[in-house]
Amino acid sequence: MQQSQDTAEPLPENIQKVVDFMSETGGTLEDYVRLNADYSNIDNNTLLREYYLQSKPHLDSEDVGILLEDFTWDEEIDDEKDIRKKKIAYKEEVAKAKGFLEGLKDKYYDEIKLRPGVTQDQQKAMVLFNRYNKQQETAEQQHAKLKKVLKNFSTTISKVSILKSVIKVISTTFKTGDKVARKPIKY
């Protein structure tokens, strides 16, 4: 997993997917967005509008609006059977639009894969980017090790200091007759 350059934190999963896509296919961010469009969350009118604009590039937005009027009805004026036919035709056209747009994604992905590989500049940039991320990862690991060593060292120094204090208090006492001699233990 790659890491962001400023914080050396792992990249969020969705950003990592974009980076992986770009390095694997040589595609751009625009390519990634286009290929990952989720047509299931788009309302049907917008979906149809996009379908007509993609499949009928000779029509402008106003022309597409007129085509979409074929799927409107007035329940007070139109016959129930005609309304039902328009609803069915609308469902059919929406299904066709979804199929077309999903097929476009597949076709577009195949085109991206057929593109000549990444340019030399892109390759150099990816190599530098990957090298930087590897260096950041190594530096982070070394920093963690150093913190651990320093913590252990600090703990050891504290123990030695306490031990010295205890040793100063403890001394060897010798009694010779009426005199008491103390000789500190050398360390």
Average pLDDT over residues 47-70: 89
pLDDT tens for residues 162-179? 877 766 655 555 667 777
Average pLDDT, integer, range 4-10: 61
Smallest Cα–Cα separation from 47: which of 83, 103, 95, 84? Answer: 95
pLDDT value of residue 88: 94
What mean pLDDT is predicted for residues 18-24? 76
Please give the pLDDT value at position 106: 74
Which of 146, 121, 148, 143 minimizes the C-alpha distance to 8?
A: 143
Which of 9-18, 38-47, 48-57, 93-102 bottoms out in mean pLDDT, i.e. has the lowest? 9-18
